[in-house]
Amino acid sequence: MAAAVAPARAARRRVRRLAADPVLIASGGFLVLIALVAVLAPLISPYDPIQTTTATLQPPSLHHLFGTDQFGRDVLSRIIWGARLTLAASVVGIAISTLLGVPLGLLAGYGPRWLGGLIMRAMDVLLAFPGILLALIVVTIIGSGIVNVMVAIGISFVPVFARVVHGSTLAARAQDYVLAARAVGCRPARIMAAHILPNVATQIVVIASSAIGWAILTATTLNFLGFGVKLPTPEWGADLAAGKDWLQVAWWTSTFPGAAITAVIMASNYLGDQLAAHLDPTSHWRDALLTQEEA
């Protein structure tokens, strides 16, 4: 009975620590707020984001809090609607990375040595490219479009997840619970799915939460360069590119989309840092991300 109570007490203490962290609460709350804004865009957007008017390049005012762009469209409305595609591209991209990278990391860490070596050498080759450059290569090969941007983001982050899960799997395979499962005749697939994966899930959550920021940066960069959505579809990166030619006469056309990108990336990074500090302080997820982005 005491053995069952101890994990529950540890879980409650961990939850209390998370709830008492003001940085984690602020960053997580901000991201939830942005997600709600994206979901409720049809209800809270003050104007049609693609409807052109004669009120071109109007500065911020009570009628247009963030001003209007060169076509008279409300900048605030475009930011609200643009949050949908920006967040969707990053979340779907990280989901693809997780679905591909986690199994590869498990196989590399627990499978035959030759298979692990083959997988990790392939991941090392991909890690040699900065994440944005790798995404650019992928989207150049498969073509432009928001769906292809999601795929490119997913592929570019696969090495990060595979590397982290591989290291965690190597550490877990020597633990007593894995040795016991092997001794009673459990198959490797069951050991990976039922014993190793639950014990590396925390690291997966931590790296995914922080990788969202990098994914948003990658998605907006690809859209800024014209590989993603096509105007007049609202999206933060595309709007940033569309407004850059008007900065001298209308600073707000690019400033507010850029500020939205910066704020969400910072919140995601802070959330990832705090989750790592509380849930998995010994994880090397940050090294993997930095290697991918700063190579």
Q: What is the pLDDT along the chain (295 residues), one digit of tens a residue?
A: 444 444 556 556 666 666 677 888 999 999 999 999 999 999 999 999 999 988 899 999 999 999 999 999 999 999 999 999 999 999 999 999 999 999 999 999 888 889 989 999 999 998 888 888 899 999 999 988 999 999 999 999 999 999 989 988 888 888 888 888 888 888 888 888 888 888 888 888 888 888 888 899 999 999 999 998 888 899 999 999 999 888 889 999 999 999 999 999 999 988 888 887 777 655 555 555 555 555 5
User: Angle 197-224/236-243 helices, nearest 10 degrees?
Assistant: 30
CATH of the domain at 181: 1.10.3720.10
Q: What would you report as the CA-atom Rg of the chain, rounded to the nearest whole angstrom?
A: 22
| Domains of the chain: total | 1
Nearest-5° Cα angle at 92, 104 to 150: 90
Q: Which residues of 188-224 are buried (b: 16+ CB within 10 A; e: fewer)?
A: eeebbeebbbeebebbbbbbbbbbbbbbbbbbbbbbb
The predicted model scores a pTM of 0.84
**Residues 86 and 93: beta-carbon distance below 8 Å:** no
Which amino acid appears at position 90 of this protein? S
- Which DSSP string do the residues of 142-186 spell out, in sequence order? H--SHHHHHHHHHHHHHHHHHHHHHHHHHHHTTSHHHHHHHHTT-
Range of the domain at 195: 2-294
Closest to 194 (Cα-Cα) out of 205, 185, 186, 203: 186
